[in-house]
Amino acid sequence: MESSSQRFVPGVAAEPAGAASVRAGGPGVLVADAAQRVLGASDGFFARTRLGPADVVGRTLAELAPALARNPALVQPAALDIVPVFDGGGQVAHFTATLREGAAAPPHAHELLDRIPAGVVVHAADARAVYANCHARALLGPALDGMRGPPGGARGPALLRADGTVLAPDDYPAVTALRHGAMVSGFIVGLPTDGAPRWLICNAFPVHAPDGSIDEIVSCYTDCTRLKQIEQSLLKSEERLRLVLQGSTDAPWDWDLVSNELYYSERYWEMVGYRPGELPARPETWMSMLDPEDSERAIGFVRDLLRGRERTYSIEFRLRHRDGHAVPILSRGFVLRDASGRAIRMSGTNTDLTQAKQAERRIYELAYFDYLTGLPNRRLLVEQLAKILPRSQRTGQFGALLFIDLDNFKLLNDTLGHDVGDQLLCEVAERLRRTVRASDHLSRLGGDEFVVVLENLGATGDGAVVEASLVGAKLLAALAQPFQLAARPSVSTPSIGVALFGDGPASVDVLLRQADLAMYRAKAEGRNTVRFFDPGMQAAADRQIALEHDLREGIRRQRFELHCQPQFDVAGRLVGAEVLLRSNHTGLGLVGPAEFIGLAETSGLIVPLGAMVLLETCRVLARWARDPRLACLTLAVNVSVQQLRQPDFVERVLAALLETGAAPDKLRLELTESVFAEDVEAVAGKMHALRAHAVSFSLDDFGTGYSSLSYLKRLPLAELKIDRSFVKDLPEDANAGAIVDAILGLARTLNLQVVAEGVETQAQRDFLVAHGCALLQGYLLGRPVPIEAFERDWGSAGQEPVR
């Protein structure tokens, strides 16, 4: 029943009105039955339209609308606002229509209003709602019904204020705009629902007639429930934050990066021992309070944070308290950035971690350290081994686990008491601490069991056995001294089991079990001793012990033999020899230097041994000086790095020459490249001092160690010796040939003689001669023989020294 000149607003149930009541109504009011046939009109309607009752009564509203649109007495466009009135059963009882002049909407206005993404409600001059678009009906629901009646008799659910209280009908936005004749904007109203209220923003404004009177009120409603929820959430968050900060020990701070203004809270200053305002609130203040060890890291962190894109951060550092101690701080916060990502503000809180760090340390100590001795416990040992074993595999270095168990500890504990037993364990732990190196890992497994883990014992199993044996011997010696227990000296010896690792995959449990078994073997074999898990390693350890004992005895009893290997020039003439040492072992027979030189160096016996060999070499040179065929020979003897370290090394060499009467120019001291790892300046000084007395030097095993051209220039060398590892692959290996060529070229440049060691085939000899090597030494030309045999073969009583 609508037309382009009508506005249809669904009505609410109302009491039926007759023509008499209509005439008493306002200007321009019609009443129609359920079929929209006019029953009567107000006097104002007839006066305004200049129509009579016969022109109106009995006609339908639809028939009347065109007549009104053409009526010259009305301000066009003119239209009827039709409102259905429902009975109690929800059926249309009748219609009311209100004349509207000069304010009609354009064609299809209701369709346009329905497309507005807001609820639009039009109120008549008496504040009654006469129109609502679809969005208004959806947003307001039953509340819209209450707006269709006069304000005093509004029905439907009450609206709520922004604070949740009930809004009186006289304070509805449309009524307020009507009362004051002014626009009401940003008014928040709530609609009660079964759950949380729905919140709307309402803007209501009056529409004035040509004569200035208010013709209608237009109200717009927008759903702001989400914004209201956010607002309430923010308010709750602010309240929570306020309460949290009041009851928290954290220290808030804020830095405006644009103005460079800094806010430090009262708690911030309290945390570092200052009163608020005592120090300036500037970035430099914070920087100056940083612990020196943390300063660069913390300042760099802030600098990178501000330059980056991160919005949140967390960092630990230490601030210096006023009294000087460091306060551990956890700083967490937020970086506010503008649209381009530039940091414009930084805020956060500082938390004092002092108690947390102390508790953390206490928990760590309880979990990983023995309460009695303070040593790492089994848990920490297992974790350390879980890292040590893979590291040993990666580096190729052997290690050892020494399992220490005190002999007869249970008897001592039972007879003297557990307090005395605890005292013994503490003293044992202290002695072990003083004995092992800082890089070793010492722990107490429990009871009277201790463990020492050694790393970096060398790349070979035999070397690791030697090192572990030495440490085991030190531990035995340290614990062999009497303990003062219960006011009397007591002896408590240990049994030590050793398990090596590094030659293959190993697990922590297996390693501990192996060392434990070896420890029980030590107990079974008399206690107060060291035993290795592997029988073969035990044999090697026994052999090394026997060798060391024999080495000491050999030095004391002069049981070493000097052998000599000849050196020839390319023409086959004997030009020199090298002294080689052999040990005449009681049970093993004649032992080569490879068996005992390493042991002599690790045990410190190389110095007296080297001095003995040097003195004997000088005696040989003195004897050769009396033999015409041997007098011209140069005799080379090896000197160890440890000998060179001796402050009086030069004096010892000169004393040996003086004592024997040997010619210094016939003595050649052979050094290995390991001297370059020492104090080169000190070594060079000693070499120059001896060179001033005509003693010459040869660099042995050249190319296998710490070679440096700058060192070769600075040291007074006369000769280089090509190591046998390069010679053995000649002439087939091109790489070996290239290395030999390079050494020969270098020697020619530095004006040094070259001796090739290990010449065992004619092909090797021919290659070396062809490439300019002047001196040769090896089994092809002559094997090492005792000094007496060498003198017999090459001296005046022997053959011509030509090969």
Instruction: Supply the pLDDT for residue 15.
Output: 37
Q: What is the DSSP secondary-structure string of 700-749? A: EEETSS---HHHHHHS---EEEE-HHHHTTTTT-HHHHHHHHHHHHHHHH
- Which has the higher per-residue pLDDT, 547 or 371? 371
Taking a C-beta distance cutoff of 8 angstroms, is the pair 588, 456 a contact?
no
Instruction: Supply the pLDDT for residue 442.
Output: 95
Spatial separation of the C-alpha atoms in residues 108 and 5, rounded to whole Å: 9
Share of the chain above pLDDT 90, in %: 43
Instruction: Summarize the confidence of residues 145-174 as an average pLDDT.
Output: 80
Structure tokens at 649: 């090394």
Instruction: Supply the pLDDT for residue 597.
Output: 79
Reported as a pLDDT band with limits 50, 70 and 90, residue 76 is low
| 583 three-state secondary structure | strand
Instruction: Supply the pLDDT for residue 3.
Output: 35
Q: pLDDT tens, 478-487?
A: 998 888 887 7
Instruction: Supply the pLDDT for residue 8.
Output: 33
CA Rg, the chain, in Å? 54
Q: Is the pLDDT of residue 57 over 60?
A: yes
Instruction: Summarize the confidence of residues 738-744 as an average pLDDT.
Output: 91
Q: How many CA atoms, within 13 angstroms, populate the side-chain half-sphere of residue 144?
A: 23
Instruction: Supply the pLDDT for residue 9.
Output: 35
Instruction: Supply the pLDDT for residue 102.
Output: 57
Beta-bridge partners for 255: 262, 346
Residue 788 backbone dihedrals phi, psi, to 5 degrees: -60, -40
Instruction: Supply the pLDDT for residue 763.
Output: 94
Instruction: Summarize the confidence of residues 62-75 as an average pLDDT.
Output: 80
Which of 35-44 are b and which e, b meaning 16 or more Cβ less than 10 Å from the residue's Cβ?
A: ebbbbbbbeb
Neighbours of 282 (CB within 10 A): 13
Q: pLDDT tens, 744-768?
A: 998 998 899 999 999 999 999 999 9
CA distances from 242 to 253, 278, 333, 484 (A): 14, 25, 16, 64
Using the Cα atoms of residue 12, residue 15, residue 18 and residue 22 in order, give the sign of their dihedral: negative
Averaged confidence pLDDT in the chain:
85
Instruction: Supply the pLDDT for residue 678.
Output: 67
Q: pLDDT tens, 112-158?
A: 777 788 888 888 888 888 888 888 888 888 888 778 777 665 566 78
Q: Is the pLDDT of residue 1 over 50?
A: no
Q: Is the pLDDT of residue 790 over 60?
A: yes
Neighbours of 677 (CB within 10 A): 11
Q: Report the DSSP pairing between strands 560-569 and 494-501.
A: unpaired
Neighbours of 450 (CB within 10 A): 26
- Which has the higher per-residue pLDDT, 570 or 153? 570
Reported as a pLDDT band with limits 50, 70 and 90, residue 573 is very high
Q: Please give the DSSP secondary-structure letter assigned to residue 207.
A: E
pTM above 0.85, yes or no: no
Instruction: Summarize the confidence of residues 494-498 as an average pLDDT.
Output: 94
Instruction: Supply the pLDDT for residue 594.
Output: 75
Instruction: Summarize the confidence of residues 340-344 as an average pLDDT.
Output: 92
Q: pLDDT tens, 180-219?
A: 888 888 899 999 888 888 999 999 988 877 677 888 888 9
- Which has the higher per-residue pLDDT, 181 or 104? 181
Q: Is the pLDDT of residue 627 over 90?
A: yes
- Which has the higher per-residue pLDDT, 23 or 570? 570
Instruction: Supply the pLDDT for residue 413.
Output: 81
Instruction: Summarize the confidence of residues 278-305 as an average pLDDT.
Output: 92
Domains and CATH numbers, the chain: 6-191+199-221 (3.30.450.20), 248-358 (3.30.450.20), 396-533 (3.30.70.270), 563-581+608-794 (3.20.20.450)
Spatial separation of the C-alpha atoms in residues 254 and 659, rounded to whole Å: 85
Q: pLDDT tens, 229-267?
A: 888 888 888 787 777 666 667 888 999 999 999 998 888
Taking a C-beta distance cutoff of 8 angstroms, is the pair 778, 757 a contact?
yes
Distance of CA 453 to the CA centre of its chain: 27
